[in-house]
Structure 1
Amino acid sequence: MTELRSDSDGDLFSERARQYAAERPLTRLHILEAGCGWGAGLRLDGRADGAEHQVTGIDLDTPAARAHLRTRADLTAWHLGDLRTVPLPPRAFDIVHAPYLIERVPHAELVLDRFVAALKPGGLLLLRLRDRDSALGFLDRRLLGLAAHLPGRPATAPPPAGAYERVASRQGLQWYCVMRGLVIAEERTSRDALTSLGAATAPLAALCRTVAACSRGRLTAAHTDVSLVIRKPENRYARLL
């Protein structure tokens, strides 16, 4: 059963990754950092069994991504380029971590399919995104200047053409998981994009409420971001009843 929470405290994905590692003692984990060109990766240091992990990064090829990769000492290897074609061996990774990536890439569903194919059976797909069906997501994709001030994306990179596809939403990902036979083990919503803006939080929150009201329920101001812990079934033919 999916666990739904509204909570921005703590590092959900690192915690779930450590739980996954604890269930597989003395096993070297292979992790894919999708969107490695900004931010930091999962925190897995201090495993009780002393086992190591290998981290491969992929992202779009941009000058900002290349500059950031010079600071990523946690990566064992990395590839930059078209996410539809960068090398991803099948069933090679225990965990795919993709924070704030799906809403900013074109052909998002195809990219997701490649991530799922690269996961081992029983592996975890950890997705965090700005919900296109949130009022802030609507403003982000319609007003490109807003993107430079929102967390979860490099400041120099507004949403590219083709970003915020339909799958880049809470409902879109729920549909995607049903169609691909994936299990959403945990789902959390938050207003991180607003609460991190300091003095701008209150006026932007008021604007989001206005946009949501004008949309007559199509957009929401209750949250901005969605985090999902998705598990690939051990048996590809398994069905949920």
Structure 2
Amino acid sequence: MTDLRTPPIHDGGLFPARVREYALERPMQRLAILDAGCGWAREIELAAHECVITGVDDDLPPLRAHTESRRDLDSFQLGDLRTVPMPPRVYDVVRASHLIERISHAELVLDRFVAALKPGGLMVVRFRDRNGAFGYLDRRLPHWLRHLLWHHDQPPPAVYDRVASLEGMRWYCMMRGLVIAEELTSRDTVTGFGRLTGIALRVVALLGRGRLTAAHSEVTIVIRKPENRFARII
């Protein structure tokens, strides 16, 4: 089910803006936020709002080091995302930033996030599109070359399950009866790597004969879990 807002705001402020809107609908309520992928994501800045932030991610050395350095998390759980403790219908908002492209069994993990959301809750998912030229190269390059390109930090794994695409997430939401409230595409990764990378990705897209796009590298989707308990939800 899709209900697109237009025009979307720039992704840099989308998450806090949507949390503020959600909080205004529930005055005097302390928000519970799940930061899924906390070992790679930036800190959540919601100083004006009372909230409890819980992190969850795989238990890998670089992810643990980053998680432990974060000052915004009230607690965190690291482990296998298919089994790590995640109570049902507890969280108001789930943020999954650059997570689903780097994990296996992404649909199963997404199902667990949806189950952890309260009815009417929001899930903001941001990922690199496997059907983008950058996503294609990222999952095809050998590890040593990825490590060289991501020289500023340890690169995350490049798994890119089929749900890690704009079309894949639309399909996922339709099959689970979830509402897509907003979609946004951006070229942040391409811009970060510079002009030559942008040219190279356009060449890759041309060679892909329409199967790949150089128009964007990231996708951000705001998903709402229906409040109706009779709706087909997890």
Alignment deviations for residues 60-118 of structure 1 (CA, whole Å, 9 cap, x no partner): 10111221123212111111100000000000100010100000000000000000000
Task: Tell me, in whole angstroms, the C-alpha distance in 1 between the residues paired with 2:177 and 2:11.
Answer: 29
1:124 is matched with 122
Q: Which runs of 5+ in 2 are unaligned?
A: none
Where do 1:31-50 residues align within 5 Å? 31-47=33-49
Partner residue of 2:77 out of 63, 72, 79? 79
Alignment deviations for residues 130-168 of structure 1 (CA, whole Å, 9 cap, x no partner): 0000000000000142366459xx8223425xx101000
Q: Which runs of 5+ in 1 are unaligned?
A: none
Task: Tell me, in whole angstroms, the C-alpha distance in 1 between the residues paired with 2:8 and 2:147.
Answer: 23
Query: TM-score scaled by structure 1?
Result: 0.88
How many percent of aligned residue pairs carry the same amino acid?
56
* Residue 187 in structure 1 maps to residue 183 in structure 2: yes
Task: Tell me, in whole angstroms, the C-alpha distance in 2 between the residues paired with 1:34 and 1:207.
Answer: 32
Please state whether the residue corresponding to 1:83 is helix, strand or coil: coil
* Residue 233 in structure 1 maps to residue 226 in structure 2: yes
Judging changes above 3 Å, is the alpha-carbon distance between structure 1 residues 4 and 217 closer, same or farther for their aligned structure 2 residues? Answer: farther
Task: Tell me, in whole angstroms, the C-alpha distance in 1 between the residues paired with 2:216 and 2:98.
Answer: 15
Give the letter aligned to residue 178 of structure 1: M
Judging changes above 3 Å, is the alpha-carbon distance between structure 1 residues 217 and 5 closer, same or farther for their aligned structure 2 residues? Answer: farther
Query: TM-score scaled by structure 2?
Result: 0.91
2:32 is matched with 30
Partner residue of 2:192 out of 193, 196, 199? 196
Task: Tell me, in whole angstroms, the C-alpha distance in 2 between the residues paired with 1:139 and 1:98.
Answer: 22
Task: Tell me, in whole angstroms, the C-alpha distance in 1 between the residues paired with 2:92 and 2:22.
Answer: 9
Where do 1:81-100 residues align within 5 Å? 81-100=79-98
**How many positions carry a matched residue from both structures?**
228
Instruction: Tell whether the 8 Å contact from 1:148 to 1:156 is kept in structure 2 after alignment.
Output: no
Give the letter aligned to residue 96 of structure 1: V
Please state whether the residue corresponding to 1:188 is helix, strand or coil: strand
Once the 2 structures are TM-superposed, how far is the Cα of residue 36 of structure 1 from its aligned partner?
0.8
Task: Tell me, in whole angstroms, the C-alpha distance in 2 between the residues paired with 1:141 and 1:4.
Answer: 32
33-42 or 224-233, which moves further after superposition? 33-42
**4+ runs of 1 displaced by more than 3 Å?**
4-10, 146-151, 236-239
